[in-house]
Amino acid sequence: MLAGRRIVLAVSGGVAAFKSAYLARRLVEAGAEVRAIMTRSAQEFLGPQTLAAITGSHPHVDFFEDPDVSPHTDLARWADAIVVAPATAATLSRLATGLSDDLVSGTVLAFTGPVLVAPAMHTEMWEHPATRRNIEVLAGDGIVVVGPVSGSLAGGDEGPGRMVEPEEIVEALREALGSGTLEGWLVVVSAGGTREAIDPVRFIGNRSSGKMGNAIAVEAAERGALVTLVTSAEPPDHAGIEVVQVESAAEMAAAVWERAPGADVAVLTAAVADFRPKNPSAAKLRRAEGLPELELEPTPDILSGVAELERRPCRVGFAAEAGPAAEAAIKAKSKGADLLFANDITAPGSGFGVDTNAVTVFTADGSSEEWPLMPKRAVAAALWDRIIELRAAMPQPGARPRRRRQDRS
């Protein structure tokens, strides 16, 4: 998945540079964050302003004209992957020899993650023994070479040397980055809005549709996790998900707390009521009896309860904020969350009921990161990638009873 991934798009100077604008657009549409670098000659073929408009940030063009002190190392530390498209014969040669005399080659040299190159040049240059040698060296260094293909080239020539289409580069990038597997993980997800009874007819509820939690549960199941979805909403139809249907905060708390000690991760997406009627009426309240007096009491805090367990899983919360997410950092700490995803429910396309979401991720150390508006399923994919990273860096709790898929029945 590319959602939430940070991609450096390095453009070197060839006619195929115009395709890099399409490539940047495809990457942004897939939810990736893109920063571009252009060699001097690339700027003869494509205006930096075009890439700036598509990616939302001005391309880096030179070591020494850059506002950053060390743009190549900064970009290399920031990126999840680098794509060099088009990669000219000169750029391939620099990369193969480690000659870091421009910002593209310097950034690739400083980078330790996946690098893809999409060569584009005339057939004679592509078939020259020097280029063949360079390609062999690059492939031996683990660089993924995508294309070229045969077709019409600049100046009316025909033959091998044409850069592959952007869609093919995006596919190759997806493959290179992969999506982390959750094989062997036990996951608990909560979803939907709880309902707190006033009487047998009425309740205190909220607008959660369950879409965000469902997307998280489905993405985890697709990646091989054993998923329990504790929900008060319509669950997804997915064979890999065990559904526990609940209604109130108390029922949700009981179901989550029962399963959390055996889980690796608990993602609590549900919008849980913070208070409920203390004495719900057993009979329907009648209008003729006058206005009822509702005494409220707090509901159990499910997330805090998970954090207090002796054997607690990695804890991920969500926070529905009406406005900027400043409060969310405090909430993450007070509820003992390892990660907290805040969404502004007043922003268009974000929060309750819609198919998209824009979240700000807060980590336990107080740092935060804003993700762009994307489909809830793409948020879910990026969320699991982030949890995989987090768990890899965390000491794991003691052994837990393993459950197998067939233990479910």
- Provide the binding-site residues for ligand PMT, judged by CB under 6 A: 190, 208-212, 249, 268-272, 274, 299, 301-303, 317-320, 331, 335, 343, 345, 351-353
Residue 279 a catalytic site member: no
Neighbours of 352 (CB within 10 A): 16
Q: Where are the beta strands (DSSP E) in 289-386?
A: 296-298, 314-321, 339-344, 356-357, 359-363, 368-370, 374-375
- Residues in Cβ contact with 373 at an 8 Å cutoff, skipping those fewer than 6 apart: 349, 350, 356, 357, 358
Q: Among residues 211 and 223, whose Cβ is nearest to ligand PMT?
A: 211
Closest Cα partner for 208 from 190, 196, 230, 191? 191
Strands 158-162 and 186-191: what pairing? Answer: unpaired
Nearer to ligand PMT, 126 or 362 (CB): 362
Burial of 66 (0-12, 13-18, 19+ CB in 10 A): middle
Between 12 and 208, CB nearer to ligand PMT: 208
Query: Cβ of residue 271: shortest distance to ligand PMT, in angstroms?
Result: 4
Q: CB under 8 Å to 287, separation ≥6 — which residues?
A: none
**Smaller CB separation from ligand PMT, 104 or 307:** 307
List CB contacts of 54: < 8 A, sequence separation 6 or more: 21, 24, 25, 28, 34
Least Cα distance to 131 among 150, 142, 145 occurs for 145
CB of 226 to ligand PMT, least distance (A): 21
Q: Which residue has the tokens 């526990």?
A: 244
Least distance between ligand PMT and beta carbon 277 (Å): 15
Helix (H) or strand (E) holding 19: helix 17-29
Distance CA 98, CA 79 (A): 19
Instruction: Choose the catalytic residue: 134, 206, 279, 357.
Output: 206
**With respect to ligand PMT, which residue has the nearer C-beta, 152 or 346?**
346
Classify 317 as helix, strand or coil. strand
Nearer Cβ to ligand PMT, position 144 or 252? 252
Distance in Å, CB of 312 to ligand PMT, minimum: 13
Task: Output the smallest distance, CB 343 to ligand PMT, in A.
Answer: 5
Nearest Cα neighbor of 148 from 140, 159, 137 is 159
Query: Measured from the CB of residue 340, what is the shortest distance to ligand PMT in angstroms?
Result: 7
Shortest spacing between CB 273 and ligand PMT, in angstroms: 7
* Number of residues that make up the chain: 409
The residue among 223 and 376 lying less far from ligand PMT, judged by its C-beta, is: 376
Torsion sign over Cα 2, 18, 101, 64: negative
Catalytically active residues, by annotation: 206
